[in-house]
Structure 1
Amino acid sequence: MRNNKSKLYSAIRFATLAAVVAPASALAGGFALNEQSASAMGVANAGTAANPENATTVLFNPAGMSQLSGTNLSFGAAVLDIDAEAKDDARATNQLGLPVQGSSGGDIADPAVLPNLYMTREISDSVDVGFGIHAPFGLAADYDDDFVGRYFADETELTAISFSPSISVNNGSGLSMGAGINIIYAEGKLTRFLDNSAASAAVTAPSGTPNPGFYDQGYADIEGDDVGVTFRVGFLYELSEQTQFGLMVQTGTELELEGDADLTNYVNPANGVVTPTSVSERVVVPLAIPESITVGARHQLTDTVTLLAGATYAKWSRFEELDIVSRETGGDITGAPQEGAVLSHVTEKWQNTWQFNLGAIWQATPEWAFKTGYAFDESPVNEDFVTARIPSNDRHWLTLGAQWADERSGWTVDVAAGTLIFDGNGRVDERNYQHENPSQVAELQPGVPDQSNYQGEYELDAWSAGIQVSKAF
């Protein structure tokens, strides 16, 4: 018993540390991550709300814990690699409408490792409890420093880890209900180069020949973190020995990523700053997390074939803008004298999305099962406001998986791999917009429009793979 506890504690400690330091990457489905369990990845997450195979049901539907006996542990990791690169004809203009020289930015997304750990414990015939650690959201993109669109985006990073205690009850007649809390710690980073062309022209104009290259470009680095809470409620109904249905509802929230904005080589003649300087500002970046609802069905067609289906609706329309807001009470770097001034604004206006999933499991032998799945995942990104930070598109997810289970020892191992096929190329036509009216470009000074623009078409493809180890005690 002591040896089992030691292994259990070691697994928990490893998964916790790995989740904290792991980067995350996603370019479709918003910044939500699908790669939470290799056992579910094998069927493209089909029917997860109605298919409690192991302790990962803590995440997918806490009501499913009622169908697990004793103590269950499940842990693993997934690798997600997205290739996203602008074509060579990407182009940009600066604040004065002059061409920006540079490259297409290279492949902006590195491979990411996404660990997870889940546990359940049967307390009585009608009550189960569980706990999970996973990475529900993430985003990572990093352009080369000479990227032509560097005045819009350089590095974008969002890393989130969720701690999810859960409980379930059942009535003994096929109906179960579960509830859980997601305690989410998130940290983000946004960087870009500062376009000083307008400032350069303004300070050199009295000489008679404005020089847009008088000042070198600057750099902005914004970092912050926050803790938020969402809630989950799930239901599972066993219609018969062959068929059951599941429902899981999750609330949304808004994270307030508080931190600092550090600007180097900052110039703003409108505020009397004509000598390049370094400044720091306390800021907050609001980030909306969507509510969602998932339905699932599982049907055992024959003794060896099980069919799965599901759908998820997510309210991504909560994410209307990406703003950097001052937390200074005595004035800020834009000259606005009050807390709450918007220092930077990016119009997003994301849209609500559907994800549809189909999957099948073939139990070839008592030990071996093989899986396959397909999912269609809508991108929430508004086509009118696609940005260089998230050049997303709808995608199709095709997966294969295999499962080995030893009934005597209680050990199960799942492996899965999948490919993501995007609907065409991501097209970006980004400008600087006014906070009050996203249909208009921003004004550098009253009556002087900001002519900054970035246009690029991205080639997108990706693959993912995962492994999951489960144990029933």
Structure 2
Amino acid sequence: MKTTFLTRAVQLATLAAVAAPASVLAGGFSLNEKSASAMGVANAGTAANPENATTVSFNPAGMSQLKGTNISFGAAVVDINAEAKRGSTSATNTLGGPVQGTTGGNIADPAILPNFFMTHEVNESIDVGFGIHAPYGLAADYDDDFVGRYFADKTELTVIGFTPSIAINNGKGLSMGLGMNIMYAEGRLTRYQDIRGALAQQVGPAQAGPSADAYEAQYGAPYADINGDDIAVTFRVGFLYELSDRTQFGLTAQTGTDFELEGDVKISSFPVLSPSGLAPTTLEEDARVPLAIPESVTVGVRHQLTDSVTLLGGATYARWSRFQELDVFSKEGDGGQVSSALGRTGDDNPITHVTEKWKNNWQFNVGTIWQATPAWAFKAGYAWDESPVGEFITARIPSSDRHWLTLGTQWKDASSGWTVDASVGTLLFTDDPKIDEFNYLHTAPTQRDPKAGASNYQGEYELDAWSAALQISKAF
């Protein structure tokens, strides 16, 4: 019966994770929603507080403090409101003319993020574990008549991580753990193409605008759709030290990596000269999109202040400066349909380029647990999360620093080994991010691309979010 239950739980978590849309609720495109028990304290002290099998993801060394076999599974619901303010948006095309359109609506839909974790005590010194969760994700989708549609339409990143782990302890309060995060990623980028610059070279600037307007009215603006997938691996090492029976410290570090999302780029309704004038055609080419995943270091502390009150704290530093640009490269060389049509030459010259220039960031967390009765505990937490997005805020990822406030509760039945955690949280952004986006050169990322002319998008965004999570754990 146990094997059947476990197999079904793994299948459910895997299928739900693949089907779930991803949303961003942490620094960069990391996801915080891995555990309802940790969410209740805003992930404070997760490196030093192994409550259940979810420690596989936070600090594998924590498995050494779990007895027997443990499973934990659950899901988080995330709802983000991200929308440009009315009256704040404007855009110009390549020729400097105004682009007509709307604010693009709420760009983020509600998302469900499931997880499953398991640990097993091999002997007094060794524990092993496994987890399935969503470590990274991003989703944004503007309305088709968005005024900044020449800069962004859909942005999607879904990452599913499979995490085998092992922990050893010396029996004297010191444990060490090692985990491997095998990640499968799918990504998609879409936007509409402004053809006015290309037409200006063929028919002159005076006729380019009216010609493009007439073409778009008849066939629609050319639409670029880029997608790809890849597998990458990171490693996590963790340490856990029991200073006393009331206080312990944790440290965990994760390596960085790079995805090479391989797929294709397709541009539909691209204008091609014919004897009867401009005719729409579809261009397609194999492409790749490099995507950097940062290194990170997390420290945590857990202190039992009284028999019923536990204090938690922690901090995470992530090297998001690895993410400097979002580029799409051809896999076919200069002879590809898209590369030829856009005048791209050279293997180091991307089909499209977006300057990002993210910066390293910190997250600080504090939390408390009140054990009201042997069965019931109540939690609260606060986190300050620094945005890695710096000067180059884009329509694809509007972001600013944020505060995360959470409440949680836990019910535990010691006789049966069942534990249920529930949590809710709200995300408050410190500023309304202001976007003033241009096209920049790949070779000089801070210099505007002269081929893009006067193309520009401006907008100010309102951001807020809430989340809720449920976690069921069982100790055998």
Aligned twin of 1:187: 186
SS in 2 for 1:385: coil
SS in 2 for 1:50: coil
- The separation in 2 between residues aligned to 1:297 and 1:411, in whole angstroms, is 26
Structure 1 Cα separation of the partners of residues 138 and 450 of structure 2: 30
SS of residue paired to 2:95? coil
CA contact 1:425–1:458 (8 Å) conserved in 2: yes
Q: What's the counterpart of residue 435 of structure 1? A: 442
Q: Cα deviations across residues 262-311 of structure 1 (Å, max 9, x unaligned)? A: 00122488xxx964321001110000000000000000000000000000
* CA distance in structure 2 between the aligned counterparts of 1:416 and 1:304, rounded to whole angstroms: 19
1:145-171 residue CA offsets vs partner (Å, 9 max, x unmatched)? 000000000000000000000000000
Q: Give the corresponding residue for 1:424.
A: 431
Structure 2, unpaired ranges of 5+: none
Contact 1:129 1:167 in 2 (8 A): yes
Gaps of 5+ in 1: none
Separation in 1 of the partners of 2:11 and 2:147? 43
The 1:28/1:70 distance shift into structure 2, 3 A limit, reads closer
User: Separation in 1 of the partners of 2:379 and 2:334?
Assistant: 60
2:35 to 34, 37, 47: 37
Distance 1:200 1:48, change over 3 A: same
Match 1:460 to one of 455, 460, 463: 463
Question: How many residue pairs are counted as aligned between the two chains?
Answer: 463
The change in CA–CA distance for 1:330 and 1:435 in structure 2 (over 3 A counts) is closer
Q: Is the 8 A contact 2:80 2:466 kept in 1?
A: yes
Distance 1:207 1:232, change over 3 A: closer
Residue matched to 1:405: 412
1:439: how far off?
Answer: 2.5
Are 2:170 and 1:197 aligned? Answer: no
State the match for 1:159 in structure 2.
Answer: 158
Compared with structure 1, are the counterparts of its residues 330 and 422 closer, same or farther at alpha carbon in structure 2 (3 Å cutoff)?
closer
Cα contact 1:28–1:393 (8 A) shared by 2: no
> Which residue among 318, 339, 345 is the counterpart of 1:334?
339
Give the deviation of 1:426 after TM superposition.
1.3
Counterpart residue number, 2:62: 64
1:368 matches 2:372? no
Match of 2:223, SS state, is strand
Shift of 1:4: 2.0
TM-score by length of structure 2 reads 0.95
Aligned counterpart for 2:51 among listed residues 49, 53, 58 = 53
Identical columns (%): 65
RMSD over aligned Cα, in angstroms? 1.6
The residue type paired with residue 18 of structure 2 is V
1:78 equivalent to 2:76? Answer: yes
Q: Which residue of 2 aligns with 1:286?
A: 290
The 2-side partners of 1:86 and 1:28 are apart by 20
Asked if 1:250 corresponds to 2:254, the answer is yes
Q: CA offset at residue 190 of structure 1?
A: 0.2
Shift in CA distance, 188/207, structure 1 to aligned 2, threshold 3 Å = closer
> Per-residue CA shift, 1:357-409, capped at 9, x if unaligned?
00000000000000000000011001x20000000011000000000000000
Task: Find the aligned partners of 2:43 and 2:328 in 1 and give their Cα distance.
Answer: 35
Residues 95, 209 of structure 2: 8 Å contact kept: no
Distance between the aligned counterparts of 2:433 and 2:206, measured in 1?
A: 44
TM-score with structure 1 length normalisation?
0.95
8 A contact 1:200–1:214 mirrored in 2 = no
Are 1:441 and 1:451, in contact at CA under 8 Å, matched by a contact in 2? Answer: no
What is the deviation of 1:9? 1.1
- For residues 207 and 261 of structure 1, the distance between their equivalents in structure 2, rounded to whole angstroms, comes to 31
1:177 is aligned to 2:171: no
